[in-house]
Amino acid sequence: MMENHVLGVNCGWQIGGLPFNKYSWLVTHNSFSIVGAPALPGVQRFTFYNQEDTVTNQLKNGVRGLMLDMYDFNGDIWLCHSFRGQCFNFTAFQPAINTLREVEAFLSKNPSEIVTIIIEDYVHTPKGLTKLFKNAGLDKYWFPVSKMPKKGEDWPTVTEMVKANHRLLVFTSVASKEEEEGIAYQWKYLLENEAGDPGVKPGSCPNRKESQPFNSKTASLFLMNYFPTYPVEDEACKEHSARLADRIRTCYKAAGSMMPNFLAVNFYLRSDGGGVFYDLDSMSGQRLCGCNTIAACQAGAPFGSCKNISMPTPSPMTNSVGSFSGPVQFSTSTSTVYHPNHLMIALFSFPWMISLFF
């Protein structure tokens, strides 16, 4: 197994033996909406950006869940960061198969890894998603809906999923596609807090209205959204520091002492000390052995028996692009800080300005 960057250490003995729902995984919100991604020829893109490196690099850096918005567009299925349920040429990024082929390449090269894809689904083409995933070569990794727990019981262990090659979990926001295409309906299997600004408000963790209530006993996975309505790169540094740890504790209590299985964020590499990798390490340590870091876990020791290790104190960096936790790879240099979302926020703050563009 490749080094698990989410947990921060090489921890092969801890990974695999427990059910899938006993681990915590990093998810990128709008994984495809990448700063600097080329627009359609002759088109100025007009949308928000949520990430800064390619999906391939996200996966290499420890991301294990992707949020993808899929639309019918140009006679194909595209990834778009759009509105009104429609993809426009100024909100389009690329055909979805390109990103799915990046996922296939990663799974092929890393036979012990599992990836989850959560689709915000605006595809109306009959069997469109089925054909898409098959053409991308991902059907061979598909975790069957028939084997997904439906009464709140544990999932298979990670070891069992890897052995069966059921290493791709796919969820859709359209309920009918579970029966029509065998794609799991997201809110049948995942509890979820509210996305956007309500999900980052200090001291609360409201239940997303589409989700089952937090006290439901039929879903055994918990997706924690932690990103504001309007994404801003430099603000992510603050959001991913002490605020994130506080939010995890709040949502843990709100969900009845259920630790998030998926943590969804924007600009996952940014922080002013700590960061998403640091907090995922803490969650994983508490899940696996009752310790504040997975590095303190001891093979064969009773739960809560932790090695006496010194925890590094997260400290802010003076770097203008924020501090990055864990081994990382970038698509391009980080020396130039570009904030395309500032214009979008200004426009959405004054709705009359948007009418100038449409």
118, β-bridge pairs:
67, 171
**pLDDT band with cut points at 50, 70 and 90 for residue 292:** confident
Indicate whether 125 belongs to any domain. Answer: yes
Indicate whether 12 belongs to any domain. Answer: no
Indicate whether 90 belongs to any domain. Answer: yes
Q: What is the pLDDT of residue 321?
A: 35
Q: Is the pLDDT of residue 316 over 60?
A: no
Task: Tell me what the mean pLDDT of segment 151-169 comes to.
Answer: 97
- Integer Cα distance of 334 and 350 in angstroms: 31
Indicate whether 185 belongs to any domain. Answer: yes
- Integer Cα distance of 200 and 244 in angstroms: 9
Return the biggest CA–CA distance within the chain: 65
Quick: pLDDT tens for 83-125. Answer: 889 999 999 999 999 999 999 999 999 999 999 999 999 999 9
Q: 157: which 2 tokens?
A: 């262990």
Q: Quick one: three-class SS letters along the chain?
A: CCCECCCCECCCCCCCCCEHHHCCEEEECCCCCECCCCCCCCCCCCCCCCECCCHHHHHHCCCCEEEEEEEEECCEEEEECCECCECCCCCEEEEHHHHHHHHHHHHHHCCCCCEEEEEEEECCCCCHHHHHHHHCCCHHHECCHHHCCCCCCCCCEHHHHHHCCCCEEEEECCCCHHHHHCCEEHHHHEEEECCCHHHCCCCCCCECCCCCCCCCCCCCEEEEECCCCCCCHHHHHHHCCHHHHHHHHHHHHHCCCCCCCEEEECCCCCECCCCHHHHHHHHHHHHHCCCCCHHHCCCCCCCCCCCCCCCCCCCCCCCCCCECCCCCCCCCCCCCCCCCHHHHHHHHHCHHHHCCCC
- Integer Cα distance of 87 and 81 in angstroms: 8
Q: What is the pLDDT of residue 273?
A: 76
Indicate whether 98 belongs to any domain. Answer: yes
Task: Tell me what the mean pLDDT of segment 205-213 comes to.
Answer: 95
Give the domain extent around 26. Answer: 20-296
Number of structural domains (the chain) is 1
Give CA torsion, residues 29, 278, 234, 228, to 10 deg. 40
Q: 100: which 2 tokens?
A: 């799915």
Residue type, 62: G
Indicate whether 348 belongs to any domain. Answer: no
Query: How many angstroms from the chain centroid is the CA of residue 260?
Result: 12
Indicate whether 268 belongs to any domain. Answer: yes
Share the mean pLDDT of the chain: 85
**According to the per-residue pLDDT averaged within each range, which of 158-172, 294-308, 330-344 is highest?**
158-172
**pLDDT band with cut points at 50, 70 and 90 for residue 309:** confident
**pLDDT band with cut points at 50, 70 and 90 for residue 340:** low
Indicate whether 38 belongs to any domain. Answer: yes
Crossing angle of the two packed helices 96-109 and 128-135, in degrees rounded to 10: 50
The residues near 93 (Cβ < 8 Å, ≥ 6 apart) are 32, 33, 34, 37, 78, 79, 80, 81
Closest of 188, 75, 197 to residue 132, by C-alpha: 75
Q: Which residue has the higher pLDDT, 240 or 16?
A: 240
**CATH code, domain carrying 222:** 3.20.20
Task: Tell me what the mean pLDDT of segment 235-264 comes to.
Answer: 92
The residues near 319 (Cβ < 8 Å, ≥ 6 apart) are none
Tell me if 226 sits within 8 A of 263, measured CB to CB.
yes
Tell me if 46 sits within 8 A of 29, measured CB to CB.
no
